[in-house]
A = this chain, B = another copy of it.
Amino acid sequence: MSRPLGIAAIGYAFMGKAHSHAWRNVGAYFDVPAIEQRVLVGRDTAQVSDAAARYGWAESATDWRQVIGRDDVDIVDICAPGWLHAEIAIAALQAGKHVLAEKPLSNTLAESEAMVSAAQVARELGVQSMIGFNYRRVPALAYARQLIAAGRLGTVLQVRASYLQDWLSDRSAPMSWRLRKETAGSGALGDIASHAIDQVQYLLSDTVTEASGRLHTFVGHRPGPDGVEEVTVDDAVWATLSLAGGAVASVEASRVATGRKNSLRIEVYGSGGSLAFDLERLNELEFLDATDPAAEQGSRRIVVTEPEHPYVNAWWPQGHVIGWEHTFTHQIRDFLMAIRDGTPPSPSFEDGLQVQRVMAAIEESAADKSALLQA
């Protein structure tokens, strides 16, 4: 690797800003291959030019097709909306560029399957790909997975995963592309429950085999710029998932949970212990060791800032907490290391597709399943 890897990022909104932070900072904390932030791509010439300057990119551009063809671009980081993922990712992989795609993998199963096929072909040629389930890089969750894998929870029986937000609990909140099935694919299901589903499989190193669930839209119509429009995605979703290893997980996601801003909460219960995590306190992990004497047992509030914890050694002394954005820094660290080593990064596009299959099964089961009460 004689010259720095050239990076192109597509999208400069929320995710583009967060990914840029990661590219700009990863080298200050981790021993990764040298990179250069070559070009930031967006639709609005002026805005993308301004964002590129702020976020540390050498240039900006508006045509992603041209950018993925550039010789000085080695990695394409897709932060565009979901409906563009398949087209960009497949083209980039075919152009021999390593691809990091934000979640969800795409808006449809068919597109995701095509992306997986492209990734498999590219992988044979040494071209890597990864999906951005960034919460796998929260130190507390990465550490939780280690504890489970090491058997500290015994046999995992039950998982409770919820992702609660509240930006739609206000009935007058306006219509947006996120509330239309054509553009968003689904609502809370794809946007946030997907993170919870991925975590269940990630933490348990296991696979969902069966799902049942329910979707609900509390507010069916919302004001748009041209009048009232119908909301065609779910505000909330509830599901139970069966895992191959015998565990059962409940997943609940909502955009109307007033007062919860970004609360991905996960509880894992095993025969030998339990864990609990909340994204609003992402530097903490609760761990109960059921093999302690009964009188001494209690949920330990671990402040996940010890050098022994995943990723933490790169940062600050104990008790100095890190922020949400560094989940992306860690993600890019791992992506770059995989590229350096020529090993497939994780989570793969296949992992992204598996999450979408779980979502599809939830939607299928949601069609018909509740029982009326007997009179």
Contact = CB atoms under 8 A, between A and B. Distances in A.
Interface of A: 14, 17-18, 20-21, 24-25, 27-28, 54-56, 109, 143, 147, 153, 155, 157-158, 160, 162, 165-167, 169-171, 208-212, 214, 216, 218, 236, 238, 240, 242, 246, 248, 250, 252, 254, 256-263, 267, 269-274, 279-283, 285-290, 293-303, 305-306, 308-309, 316-326, 354, 357-358, 360-362, 364-365, 369-374
A171 B270 CA distance: 11
Given A252-B250, A269-B258, A24 B27 contact: no
Contact of A301 (B171, B290, B298, B358): B298
Nearest to A254: B158
Given A160-B162, A357-B373, A369-B369, 14 more contacts: A20-B28, A170-B271, A210-B370, A212-B214, A216-B248, A258-B288, A281-B321, A295-B309, A297-B300, A300-B301, A316-B324, A321-B321, A321-B323, A360-B374
Contacts of A158: 218, 236, 254, 256-257
B54 A28 contact: yes
Contacts of A296: 147, 287, 289, 300, 302
Most chain B beta-carbon neighbours within 10 Å: one of A162, A285, A297, A321: A321
A156 to B, nearest CB: 10
Contact of A358 (B153, B246, B358, B373): B373
A250 to B, nearest CB: 5
Contacts of A21: 25, 28
B303 A301 contact: no
Contact of A25 (B24, B218, B282, B298): B24
Instruction: Classify the secondary structure of A's interface with B.
Output: mixed
A270 B320 CA distance: 22
A293 B316 contact: no
Nearest to A299: B301
When A and B form their complex, which 9 residue pairs have the shortest distance between CB atoms, in order from nearest? Answer: A261-B319, A262-B319, A298-B300, A323-B323, A298-B302, A212-B370, A259-B288, A261-B318, A322-B323
A64 to B, nearest CB: 22
A258 B240 contact: no
A325 B319 contact: no
Given A28-B55, A321-B280, A238 B261 contact: no
A350 to B, nearest CB: 13
Contact of A258 (B167, B272, B316, B318): B272
Contacts of A246: 218
A257 B248 CA distance: 12
Given A28-B56, A259-B290, A211 B370 contact: yes
Contact of A259 (B27, B259, B299): B299
